[in-house]
């Protein structure tokens, strides 16, 4: 049996990943930009949403000092790999909501998606913060799934985009999400963009327009973080490849 499939293996890998995530938080010298705009939402009783690309999950705890000020949940795939991530994030105080997009014809996963969507709405409506990697777990890379926008539309809460990069790092260019693995004792930048809002009356066309707009803004913030810490953007944003 694969290590990722057994409960014992998942517990071990989740613990190791959790230790790595905390190492990235505490050993990297983080520069956080845009916090003045985030402060009112953190101090308010209202819920809020944060979006960060799936490929930056390994360095995502650079935003933890802010999220720790609220009850914070993160949407994680119900897959075996998602179980490892859920255990890792749990070590840093994040509540896991298990759900992701479902393939057509998979009724069991479709029901799980609906349940996760409802739990997310209730969590945010109750004043909690919700962090989403909106292009996960399967991609396409750096394209926000409509579900994230729908949660924002239904709750009316502020949305913040988080662009992150660190140096030194290892970039997994062959992975679908171009994951960035940080190395200890380096420098990091976390850029917060927002607040953004989804109009409650947005129709399908309006949601798709927000998907395109927020995807472009989140990619731009990520490229800006790369440029600030590395001197150049590492990955062309979708649509900018030459």
The residue to which tokens 């190791």 are assigned: 16
Question: What is the model's pLDDT at position 100?
Answer: 61
Question: What is the model's pLDDT at position 9?
Answer: 87
Domain encompassing residue 16:
7-230
Q: What pLDDT band is residue 136 in, cutting at 50, 70 and 90?
A: confident
Residue 186 covered by a domain: yes
- DSSP label at 107? H
Q: What angle do CA 125, 128, 133 make, to 5 degrees?
A: 105
Residue 121 covered by a domain: yes
Cα separation, 209 vs 236, whole angstroms: 21
The pLDDT tens digits for 71-109 are: 999 998 878 788 899 999 999 999 999 876 555 555 666
Residue 74 covered by a domain: yes
Looking up residue 225, the CATH number of its domain turns out to be: 3.40.1130.10
Residue 1 covered by a domain: no
Give the closest residue to 189 by CA, choosing from 223, 217, 228.
228
Cα separation, 163 vs 32, whole angstroms: 10
- What pTM does this model have? 0.90
Out of 16-30, 72-86, 217-231, least confident range: 72-86
Contact 185, 28 (CB under 8 A): yes
Q: Residue 39 pLDDT > 50, yes or no?
A: yes
Residue 163 covered by a domain: yes
Residue 20 covered by a domain: yes
Residue 21 covered by a domain: yes
Residue 94 covered by a domain: yes
- Looking at the 3D structure of the chain, how many domains does it have? 1
Q: What pLDDT band is residue 236 in, cutting at 50, 70 and 90?
A: low
More confident residue, 19 or 82: 19
Q: Residue 229 pLDDT > 70, yes or no?
A: yes
Instruction: Give the largest CA-CA distance in the chain.
Output: 49
Residue 21 burial by CB count (10 A; 0-12/13-18/19+): exposed, middle or buried?
Answer: buried
């Amino acid at each position: 049996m694969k290590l990722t499939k057994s409960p014992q293996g998942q517990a071990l890998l989740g613990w190791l990943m959790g230790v790595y995530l905390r190492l990235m938080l505490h050993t990297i010298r983080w520069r956080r930009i845009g916090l003045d705009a985030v402060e009112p939402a953190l101090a308010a009783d209202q819920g809020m949403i944060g979006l960060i690309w799936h490929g930056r999950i390994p360095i995502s705890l650079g935003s933890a000092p802010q999220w720790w000020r609220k009850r914070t949940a993160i949407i994680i795939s119900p897959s075996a790999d998602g179980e490892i991530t859920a255990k890792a994030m749990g070590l840093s105080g994040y509540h896991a909501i298990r759900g992701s997009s479902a393939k057509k014809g998979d009724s069991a996963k479709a029901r799980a998606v609906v349940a996760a969507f409802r739990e997310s709405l209730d969590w945010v409506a109750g004043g909690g913060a919700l962090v989403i990697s909106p292009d996960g777990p399967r991609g396409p890379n750096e394209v926000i799934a409509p579900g994230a926008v729908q949660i924002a539309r239904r709750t009316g809460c502020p949305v913040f985009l988080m662009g992150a990069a660190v140096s030194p790092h290892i970039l997994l260019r062959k992975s679908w999400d171009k994951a960035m693995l940080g190395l200890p004792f380096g420098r990091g930048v976390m850029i917060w963009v927002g607040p953004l809002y989804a109009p409650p009356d947005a129709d399908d066309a309006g949601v798709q327009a927000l998907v395109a707009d927020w995807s472009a803004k989140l990619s731009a913030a990520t490229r800006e973080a790369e440029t600030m810490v590395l001197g150049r953007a590492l990955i062309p944003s979708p649509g900018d490849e030459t």
